[in-house]
Amino acid sequence: MTGTISAAGPAASEARLARVRVTETFLSLQGEAAQVGWPTVFIRLTGCPLRCRWCDTEYSFIGGETTAVGQLVQTVNDYGVRHVCVTGGEPLAQPGCLDLLRGLCDGGFSVSLETSGALDIAGVDPRVSVVMDLKAPGSGETARNRTDNLEHLKPGDQVKFVLSGRADFDWALAWLAGHPLPEGVEALFSPVYGELEPRLLADWIVQARAPVRFQVQLHKLLWGDVPGR
Ligand code: SF4
């Protein structure tokens, strides 16, 4: 038991009553970004307004179960680990997500958010580590990128480019050259699983001396592309 549900007055109580639609909660290892390798509880919220060509969580687009934020915080507490990641789908598509993030932070957890970058992140609790996608052309969703979100990123946050080939790689480098990231914000380059050979992307990054961090999805290396992992 690493977190506690705080009682911080009427506003906090109201937030805990907010509801979100949840596809799944599960315990795994964080496979990506700054928290990689930590045992982590994942809360996958239902629904996404995007349709990335290579999406690996289409099962989260519909269905799910409506759950109160307070109950979810308790569920996370019961898992007994410190790290929790709110993901999707696109979690920010649900207004209750902001209450969920706040409730988890109030509960004493180390909270990260995975978001597509297509929705406004301004209301995200500043205690949350944000991992924000920038959609490359191979996703088919480049037009959804909100560059105004950059001004809301803080040190420790990360932007993630999932790349399906050389054209995406070149696009991402050009994008970064034209959009300097805020101080302390890192760029992650990740290959589309099963589509771009990780070693090829690693070679491109080294050859280009690109100011980015290479990553592969650790959970897929360990367990393959399966839900709940
Ligand atoms: S934003 Fe994420 S969940 Fe939505 S379609 Fe793209 S990859 Fe899938």
What pLDDT digit, counting tens, does each position of 149-194 carry? 999 999 999 999 999 999 999 999 999 999 999 999 999 999 999 9
pLDDT at 219 over 90: no
Q: Could you give the CA distance from residue 224 to residue 198 in angstroms, rounded to a whole number?
A: 15
**Which ligand 1 atom lies nearest to the CA of residue 60?**
3
Pocket lining: 51 vs ligand 1, CB cutoff 6 Å = yes
How confident is the model at residue 215, as a pLDDT? 94
Q: What value, to the nearest 5°, has the Cα angle with vertex 175 and ends 173 and 180?
A: 100
- Nearest CA residue ID for atom 2, ligand 1: 89
- Nearest CA residue ID for atom 8, ligand 1: 55
pLDDT at 225 over 90: no
Ligand 1 centroid distance, CA of 21 (Å): 16
**Which ligand 1 atom lies nearest to the CA of residue 48?**
4
Ligand 1 centroid distance, CA of 56 (Å): 8
